[in-house]
C-alpha cells in the first residue's frame, strides 16, 4: 500500500538491535529502545498470545516467563530481556505439540470465559505450581491474585491449578 502521508516527516525514530530468545528460538530485531517486551512480542514477533490489558502491571494479562520466573512483560523493556530465556503461552506446549497439563486443566475445569486473561493466568499458574505456592486453595487464590479475570472464573481457575499441583506433588512423592 502506498504511503499518502499528510506530513513530510519521512524519518523514523531511534532504533536499536536486540536479540530475544523466545520459546527457544533467537530473534534478531530492530526496535525503538522504548519498546516493552510485551510490544516486542506482539508487534515485532507476531506472538499475540501474550495480551495487553493495562500497560501498568496491574492486571497480569501480559505475564510471561523470563528465565523461568513470571514477569509482567508490559513492565520490562525488550532490551532488558536480551540474553534471557523468554517463554510465552505459545511455547508451553510439549515438543509433541500436546497442550501443557495446565492448558488442559483450564479447558477441563472451564477456567476461562472470554479467554483474554487466560494466557497470563496459565503462565502464572504454571509458575505458581513451580514456586511451590499451590499447597492449598487459599494459597492458590493468593498467588493467583496478580492476574485479574473480569469474567470471574476464579473458582474454576483454583480448581485447575489445584489439579495440576496435585498431580505434580504426586509425581514428586
Q: Which residues bind other proteins (CB under 8 A)?
A: 1-7, 9, 11-14, 32, 34-35, 39, 42-43, 46, 48-56, 58-59, 61, 88-90, 93, 99, 103-104, 106-110, 112-119, 122, 138, 140-142, 144-145, 147-158
Is the Cβ of residue 67 or residue 142 nearer to other proteins in the bound state? 142
CB atoms within 10 A of CB 147: 25
If you ran DSSP here, which 8-state letter would residue 77 be given?
A: B
Q: Residue 36: which of 11, 66, 10, 6 has the closest Cα?
A: 66
Is the Cβ of residue 138 or residue 171 nearer to other proteins in the bound state? 138
Q: Tell me how far, at minimum, the Cβ of 61 lies from other proteins, in Å.
A: 5
Grid coordinates in use for 19?
536479540
Q: Tell me how far, at minimum, the Cβ of 166 lies from other proteins, in Å.
A: 13
Residue 17: partners with Cβ closer than 8 Å, 6 or more residues away: 28, 29, 30
Distance CA 21, CA 6 (A): 38
Q: Tell me how far, at minimum, the Cβ of 157 lies from other proteins, in Å.
A: 7
Amino acid at each position: 500500500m502506498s504511503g499518502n502521508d499528510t506530513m513530510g516527516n519521512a524519518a523514523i525514530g531511534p532504533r536499536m538491535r536486540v536479540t530475544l530468545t523466545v520459546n527457544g528460538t533467537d530473534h534478531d530485531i530492530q526496535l525503538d529502545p522504548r519498546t516493552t517486551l510485551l510490544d516486542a512480542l506482539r508487534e515485532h514477533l507476531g506472538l499475540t498470545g501474550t495480551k495487553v490489558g493495562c500497560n501498568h502491571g496491574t492486571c497480569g494479562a501480559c505475564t510471561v516467563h523470563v528465565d523461568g520466573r513470571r514477569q509482567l512483560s508490559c513492565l520490562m523493556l525488550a532490551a532488558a530481556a536480551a540474553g534471557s530465556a523468554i517463554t510465552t503461552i505459545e511455547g508451553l506446549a510439549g515438543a509433541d505439540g500436546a497442550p501443557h497439563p495446565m492448558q488442559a486443566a483450564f479447558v477441563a475445569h472451564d477456567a476461562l470465559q472470554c479467554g483474554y486473561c487466560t494466557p497470563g493466568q496459565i503462565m502464572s499458574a504454571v509458575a505458581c505450581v513451580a514456586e511451590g505456592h499451590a499447597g492449598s486453595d487459599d494459597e492458590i487464590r493468593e498467588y493467583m491474585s496478580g492476574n485479574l479475570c473480569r469474567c470471574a472464573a476464579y473458582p474454576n481457575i483454583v480448581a485447575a491449578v489445584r489439579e495440576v499441583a496435585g498431580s505434580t506433588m504426586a509425581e514428586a512423592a
